[in-house]
Amino acid sequence: MGPLIRSLSMLLLALSLLGMSFTGSAQNPGNWSSARALDAILQDYAYRAFVRPRVRTGVPYDGTAPSNLTGIKIAAMRLVRGSLKSRGVSRYKEFEIPKGVGERPYVKRLVLVYQNLGNWSEVYYPLSGFTYLAPVLALLAYNATNLSATNLPELNIMAMRDPIMVDFSSMSQAPSGSTPKCVWFNLQGSVNFSNVSTGNKCSTTQQGHFSVVFESVKGKGKSKKVWIIVGSVVGGLLLLILLAILGLCSKKQREKRKISRMEREADAGEALSMTSIRDARTPVALGTRTQPMLEHNYVP
Ligand SMILES: *[C@@H]1O[C@H](CO)[C@@H](O)[C@H](O)[C@H]1NC(C)=O
Ligand SMILES: *[C@@H]1O[C@H](CO)[C@@H](O)[C@H](O)[C@H]1NC(C)=O
Ligand SMILES: *[C@@H]1O[C@H](CO)[C@@H](O)[C@H](O)[C@H]1NC(C)=O
Ligand SMILES: *[C@@H]1O[C@H](CO)[C@@H](O)[C@H](O)[C@H]1NC(C)=O
Ligand SMILES: *[C@@H]1O[C@H](CO)[C@@H](O)[C@H](O)[C@H]1NC(C)=O
Ligand SMILES: *[C@@H]1O[C@H](CO)[C@@H](O)[C@H](O)[C@H]1NC(C)=O
Ligand SMILES: *[C@@H]1O[C@H](CO)[C@@H](O)[C@H](O)[C@H]1NC(C)=O
């Protein structure tokens, strides 16, 4: 019975690991590296909007996305250090940036790149089980010291007092019975959902990509998971039954062998040499290979 209990506990462990991996992978966006590569391309193209004799600060400059990404809108706004903290930006496209936003590390000037991914939203930010009610919008902060620089890392910006608001008032209506949710993709690849504030706004303390979604296939993804788990449990039970049958069989076999050994030992009392000859000739002791050897040793 010992090995049976051991396999049962192994099975339970495997099942719980399986369950955990299913709940953990529920919020994984599609291809994170291609989304990050898009950010780098759009930073480059947004900075090209600054090709002017004099770049004013606090003014949005609309850029043009590369032709293979038609449908994406970009803009860039240059700010001097400290103006985010002391003044904020009352309106930058859909974003409302209050005062009290800090950036790190220290830069003399920074650029806020705006993205509206339009019909590319689902391509770069697929969310299975959800439908977008608005395009994915982004606000990302970069070093503005060199306006020709590419592949810049994002700076960290953090709203210390009031949150940054994203205005989705022109989004589509969610079908009745479903509740719209704000979704936020941070730059590390994790997804967070939150409630939509009054006036169809989403709030955030950090930069990233934002949109509004509703759960489109309610429970469908979950029921698939449930079926997988039910399937594994049933499969596990079948395996257990099989193991039990095997265990019973081997127990019977052992008993059989024990009986035949007892018979042999009984025979050995009167006809020791006969037993050894019979064992050597016939494959009676197939399962107990060591037995004949031992007896041979005793014979001489
Ligand atoms: C993810 O995107 C990168 C860059 O666009 C590409 O090279 C890679 O093949 C993609 N991976 C998957 C699994 O789609
Ligand atoms: C679009 O073009 C840019 C620049 O020409 C290139 O770097 C990028 O890989 C292309 N993106 C796609 C999705 O084809
Ligand atoms: C988005 O729309 C533009 C035209 O406005 C089109 O050229 C582009 O292929 C579309 N993108 C996707 C992913 O469908
Ligand atoms: C910003 O860019 C300038 C020029 O490229 C560089 O000297 C400086 O170290 C950068 N600052 C940060 C915080 O990356
Ligand atoms: C700005 O960046 C470009 C592209 O990386 C580089 O060629 C140029 O030398 C840089 N300029 C300064 C002043 O660092
Ligand atoms: C994201 O969501 C998780 C779970 O809902 C929560 O624990 C975490 O604090 C959230 N992260 C942020 C930055 O809000
Ligand atoms: C979001 O809304 C739901 C229902 O409207 C409510 O139960 C929940 O507490 C809200 N969550 C937060 C974080 O406000």
What's the pLDDT tens digit per position in 174-222? 899 999 999 999 999 999 999 999 999 999 999 999 999 999 876 555 5
Percent of the chain with pLDDT over 90: 56
Q: Considering every ligand atom, which ligand is closest to the CA of 33?
A: 1
pLDDT for 10 equals 58
Q: Residue 94: exposed, middle, or buried by beta-carbon count in 10 A (0-12, 13-18, 19+)?
A: buried
CA nearest to 135, candidates 150, 115, 118? 118
User: What is the arithmetic mean of pLDDT over 90-105?
Assistant: 95
User: What is the arithmetic mean of pLDDT over 60-80?
Assistant: 97
With a CB cutoff of 8 Å and minimum separation 6, the contacts of 226 are none
Substitution candidate for ligand 3 out of 64, 116, 119, 122 with most atoms within 8 A of CB: 119
In contact, 147 and 57? CB cutoff 8 Å: no
pLDDT for 68 equals 97
pLDDT score of 93 more than 80 = yes
pLDDT-wise least confident of 44-48, 70-74, 173-177: 173-177
Which residues lie with the beta carbon below 6 Å from any ligand 3 atom?
70-71, 119-120, 123
C-beta 31 within 6 A of ligand 1? yes
C-beta 105 within 6 A of ligand 4? yes
In contact, 34 and 125? CB cutoff 8 Å: no
Give the total residue count for the chain. 300
Name which residue sits closest to atom 5 of ligand 4, judged by CA. Answer: 146
C-beta 37 within 6 A of ligand 1? yes
Q: 232-270, pLDDT tens digit by residue?
A: 777 778 888 788 878 887 887 888 777 677 666 666 655
Name which residue sits closest to atom 4 of ligand 5, judged by CA. Answer: 149
- Ligand 4 centre distance from Cα of residue 108 (Å): 9
Q: Does domain 31-215 have CATH number 2.40.70.10?
A: no
Task: Print burial letters for 263-287: b (CB count within 10 Å at least 16), e (below 16).
Answer: ebeeeeeeeeeebbeebeeeeebee
User: What is the arithmetic mean of pLDDT over 109-119?
Assistant: 97
User: What is the arithmetic mean of pLDDT over 118-122?
Assistant: 97
Task: Print burial letters for 216-247: b (CB count within 10 Å at least 16), e (below 16).
Answer: eeeeeeeeebeeeeeeeeeebeeeeeeeeeee
pLDDT for 204 equals 97
C-beta 145 within 6 A of ligand 4? yes
pLDDT score of 231 more than 60 = yes
Cα-flanking dihedrals φ and ψ of residue 182, to 5°? -75, 140
In contact, 76 and 112? CB cutoff 8 Å: yes
- Ligand 4 centre distance from Cα of residue 144 (Å): 8
Substitution candidate for ligand 1 out of 28, 34, 41 with most atoms within 8 A of CB: 34
Instruction: Report which ligand 3 atom has the smallest distance to the Cα of 120.
Output: 13
pLDDT for 221 equals 52
Collapsed DSSP state (helix, strand, coil) of residue 242: helix
Half-sphere exposure of 242 (CA within 13 A, CB side): 7
Instruction: Report which ligand 1 atom has the smallest distance to the Cα of 32.
Output: 1
Question: 5 versus 22: which is more confidently predicted?
Answer: 5
pLDDT for 294 equals 46
Q: 150-166, pLDDT tens digit by residue?
A: 999 999 999 999 999 99
pLDDT for 54 equals 85
pLDDT for 248 equals 82
Tokens describing residue 145? 């010291």
pLDDT score of 73 more than 90 = yes
pLDDT for 300 equals 44
Q: What is the DSSP letter of 119?
A: G
Instruction: Report which ligand 4 atom has the smallest distance to the Cα of 143.
Output: 1
pLDDT for 139 equals 98
What's the whole-number average pLDDT of the chain?
81
Which residues lie with the beta carbon below 6 Å from any ligand 2 atom?
41, 66, 68-69
Name which residue sits closest to atom 2 of ligand 4, judged by CA. Answer: 145
pTM score > 0.85 for this model?
Answer: no
pLDDT for 122 equals 95
Residue type, 200: N
